[in-house]
Amino acid sequence: MGPSGTGKTTLLQLITRQLAPDSGQILVDGVDISTLSQSELYKMRQRFGVLFQNGALLTDMSVFENVAFPIREHTRLPDSLIRHVVLTKLHAVGLRGAAELMPAQLSGGMARRVALARAIAMDPDVLLYDEPFVGLDPISMGVIVKLVGQISDALDITSVVVSHDVHDVVAVADYSYVISDGQVAAAGTPEELNNSSSEVVKQFMHGLPDGPVGFHYDAPDYAKQLLGESPD
């Protein structure tokens, strides 16, 4: 968790090596993912499921084909078995009946659930969620929050959720990290973070307008800038 612009999505991109680190290591089960060859990285990525921000469904494919896409990409399963897997995953998110719809025919909450079905299509070891609650109405948000918890428990997998939505992350998280200015400001259970003495963590967890995270972006002196004077 953390305020906007602190590096949460960047962290997910580093974990999956969409970005390469300038220094240091990205360890996945003790393996530095930044040192893997392209073929090794491709194999490693099969262990991840990713729910992209806003779903990122392929607009020219049906719901069924969106969920089938990673299975077709990574396996040589026959169509009959792919159909079984896809319908099972869609049933898990309550959308088996929407299999033949196109993404443009879906509501925001439905699209997010289809994206979740696609993310679990390969039965991943780790499921990464990038802002899964953004832009959803309260009912859709409640459904997604429930599914995040249920899928993690049912598949016995590790889920990494990146979000600035404190209320809903607290509802599903066993352990949380608060990131600020590219650093870990605090870590602990939701209860521990709620009781943190850190001013940054207090401001974020309780939505306080005043605190270390300022409202104004750094700028020259206001009066001088209005008058066209050069800043000191």
Nearest of 174, 205, 121 to residue 161 by alpha carbon: 174
Q: Report if residue 226 sits inside a domain.
A: no
Q: In angstroms, how far is CA 17 from the centroid of its own chain?
A: 15
Amino acid at residue number 80: S
Q: Report if residue 182 sits inside a domain.
A: yes
- Given a cut of 90, is residue 212 above it in pLDDT? no
The conformation of residue 230, written as its DSSP 8-state character, comes to: P
Q: Count how many domains the chain has.
A: 1
Higher pLDDT, 209 or 131: 131
pLDDT band at 231 (very low <50, low <70, confident <90, very high): low
pLDDT tens digits, one per residue of 183-203: 888 888 888 888 777 777 777
Characterize 73-85 residue by residue with b for buried, 16 or more Cβ atoms within 10 angstroms of its Cβ, and e for exposed. Answer: eeeeeeeeebeeb
Q: What are the structure tokens assigned to 182, written together?
A: 């590219």
Q: Report if residue 73 sits inside a domain.
A: yes
Higher pLDDT, 148 or 30: 30
CATH code for position 174: 3.40.50.300
Nearest of 177, 169, 167 to residue 148 by alpha carbon: 169
- Given a cut of 80, is residue 6 above it in pLDDT? no
Q: Report if residue 28 sits inside a domain.
A: yes
Domain extent, residue 126, equals: 8-189
Q: Report if residue 219 sits inside a domain.
A: no
C-alpha distance from residue 231 to each of 106, 214, 218 (Å): 52, 21, 13
- Given a cut of 70, is residue 214 above it in pLDDT? no
pLDDT tens digits, one per residue of 103-137: 999 988 889 889 989 988 888 888 888 877 777 77
Q: Report if residue 16 sits inside a domain.
A: yes
Q: Is 114:97 a contact under the CB 8 Å cutoff?
A: no
- Given a cut of 60, is residue 90 above it in pLDDT? yes
What average pLDDT does the chain have? 83
Compute the distance between CA of residue 67 and CA of residue 115 in angstroms, rounded to an integer. Answer: 7
Higher pLDDT, 204 or 71: 71
Q: Report if residue 1 sits inside a domain.
A: no
